[in-house]
Each structure stands twice: as C-alpha cells, then as structure tokens.
Amino acid sequence: MSNNYKNSELILNPDGSLYHINLKPENIGETVFLVGDPDRVPVVSAFFDKVDFTTQKREIVTHTGTRNGKRLSVISTGMGTDNIDIVLGELDAAVNIDLVKKERKDAHTSLNFIRLGTSGSLQGDIPVDSLLVSSHGLGLDGLLHFYENSEPFTDNAFIESFIRESGWNSHFARPYLVAAGEQLFEKAEGFISGITATACGFYGPQGRTLKLNVSEPLLNEKLTAFRHDHLRITNFEMETSAIYGLSKLMGHQALSVNTIIANRITGEFSKDYKKAVKEMIEQVLDRLV
C-alpha cells in the first residue's frame, strides 16, 4: 500500500478534521472511552476533572478533558461493528497519519480504547446489573475478514472447536476470536470476565424472534453450552469483537466493560439500568484512570 492517501480514501472536513468523527489529533486523549449512546457521553465526562473540548457530527459526540492529570476522551460510536470500523479507523488515522501531508507518520502512537457498554448475559449465574469485562471478543459479524493479517484470529483451535461443536451454519461468516489488550485487562483483575460474543444485529443475529423466524433457533443455547479449556461465552452484544480485532491490527490497547442489563437465560431485565451503567462508569474510571 502506498504511504500517501488519496482525498477519496482519507476524507477530511474543511477544517482539516476527520470526516465522520470531526476530530484532529489535539482533540484526542491518550485513553478513549467508547460508548454507543450519545447521551452517555456527558455521563462519562461528568467524572472528568475538566472538559475543554466538545464536538458532534451525526450520532458521534466527543468530549475531551482531564482526570487526575491524564488526557481523556469519550466518544459515542452508535450501535454495531460497522460504526466501530469508522470510529476506530479514523481515531487511528488522527494520531498516526499526517493529515496535512496525508502520509503515515514514522512514529506510531498507541491509544487505549475502553468500551463502556451494555450487554445481555448468556449464563444464568451472571445476574443483571453486574459488571463484566471481556477477556475475548468472539466475532460473529464478519468484519475482520475484510482486513489482511486477521488469519490468526479466524484459524485457531478455539474457532475450529466452536464451529464443530456448535454446528456453525456455513452460510454465516466464519467466527473470529481476539483477546483483550493485556495491559488493560490486567488492571481489571477481580471483575467477572469471559468471552463476549458480538453479533451483527440485535434481533435475529442474537436469536430474538419478533415477526420473522430465525434460521438458528438454538443459537443462544449453543453459545451458552460451549466450553473450550477453561473458557466460556458469557454475554452477547454488538461491538466488542470489532474493537478488539481492529485494535490488535492497528497496534492499540483495548478493553470492553459491560453492564449486564439482561439475562437471556432467566429472561430478566434490569429495573434501573441507567443507575447500573453509571456505577460501572465510576468503577472503571477509578480503577483504570
């Protein structure tokens, strides 16, 4: 690949910021919290000591400031791995590409990406309102297949065992497995942890039936029952595998932390998930920042 980028590939706004995220390098902290909901951005930044930059474009809202002397950002991604592809790709470009010359920088900058999200438990012993850290992201979404060097995540003993034991539908994308960033995961010691399965949608891809019947009615049961060595699949959501996979490929640290707001086994849903999410945010910022 050329070291230079065409205007059609690296798209900038008139002020020189990245097209979708509306950010320049100086607007981004060394740790970036990723939230799906734009309304959750000010909830996170309320825990900063100071906010000195804000911007919004479409559903992507960013607040940047400081906490305990560290430069932090929180950005809303919207829902799904397709949005993660946009947001993480442009965040990496902002710090690792000279946006004026449109050339890669010689020195690489590694960011910390921490997802603060919500999720549904796939295990009966993980209750609603609990906090879960993803040791791995199990991608059922197919995103990573569009990038080179993703083979180690798709061709390994775990994936082979999962495909075989679950009777994985050959019409679906081949799953992939990516571990959390080691440095960040070590700081989360003591939290509930497990493999987070990432779907490409909320209803059919997560086994929910409304008007349309699903092609894999036992999908959730298969995920719940699967074991590989000491690992089990603990929860279902729509972003973690892309965050972990893209971060590994681009040279960043990533950690996904979820408030469990539903238990798909017991059928329970949180009575006050906003309170539980706020408690998660406070715990994560106290522990990791």
Q: What is the pLDDT of residues 8-51, one digit of tens each?
A: 999 999 999 999 999 999 999 999 999 999 999 999 999 999 99
- pLDDT of amino acid 3: 67
- pLDDT of amino acid 102: 94
CA distance 176 to 151: 9
Residue 177 pLDDT exceeds 50: yes
Q: In terms of domains, do 177 and 256 share one?
A: yes
CATH number of the domain encompassing residue 25: 3.40.50.1580
Q: In terms of domains, do 130 and 177 share one?
A: yes
Across 280-289, average pLDDT: 91
Place 289 in a pLDDT band, splitting at 50, 70 and 90.
confident
pLDDT, tens only, 65-110: 999 999 999 999 999 999 999 999 999 999 999 999 999 999 999 9
Q: In terms of domains, do 169 and 199 share one?
A: yes
- pLDDT of amino acid 149: 96
CA distance 275 to 278: 5
Closest-CA residue to 196 (of 228, 157, 236):
236
Single out the residue in 84, 109, 134 at which a domain terminates: 109
Single out the residue in 92, 109, 126 at which a domain terminates: 109
- pLDDT of amino acid 288: 84
Closest-CA residue to 153 (of 182, 176, 134):
176
CA distance 124 to 76: 30
Q: In terms of domains, do 184 and 266 share one?
A: yes
- pLDDT of amino acid 128: 93
Residue 122 pLDDT exceeds 70: yes
- pLDDT of amino acid 1: 44
Q: In terms of domains, do 1 and 65 share one?
A: yes
Cβ-in-10-Å burial (0-12, 13-18, 19+) of 169 comes to exposed
Residue 251 in 3-state DSSP? coil
Q: In terms of domains, do 5 and 49 share one?
A: yes
223: which 2 tokens?
């995920």
Q: In terms of domains, do 45 and 150 share one?
A: no
Give the phi and the psi of residue 288 in degrees, each rounded to 5.
-105, -10
Residues 6+ apart with CB under 8 A from 235: 119, 120, 121, 122, 123, 126, 132, 134, 194, 196, 197, 258, 260
- pLDDT of amino acid 4: 86
Domain containing 191: what range? 117-289
CA distance 120 to 191: 16
Q: In terms of domains, do 191 and 51 share one?
A: no
Single out the residue in 109, 131, 166 at which a domain terminates: 109
Q: In terms of domains, do 151 and 271 share one?
A: yes
CA distance 113 to 87: 11
Place 234 in a pLDDT band, splitting at 50, 70 and 90.
very high
Across 267-286, average pLDDT: 93
Share of the chain above pLDDT 90, in %: 94
Q: In terms of domains, do 72 and 141 share one?
A: no
Residue 171 pLDDT exceeds 50: yes
CA distance 133 to 234: 10
Residue 224 pLDDT exceeds 80: yes
Residues 6+ apart with CB under 8 A from 82: 143
Number of domains, the chain: 2
CA distance 192 to 282: 16
**162, 260, 264 from 124: Cα distances, Å:** 20, 12, 8
Give the phi and the psi of residue 156 in degrees, each rounded to 5.
-155, 170
Q: In terms of domains, do 95 and 129 share one?
A: no
Residue 203 pLDDT exceeds 50: yes
Residue 257 pLDDT exceeds 90: yes
Q: In terms of domains, do 149 and 246 share one?
A: yes
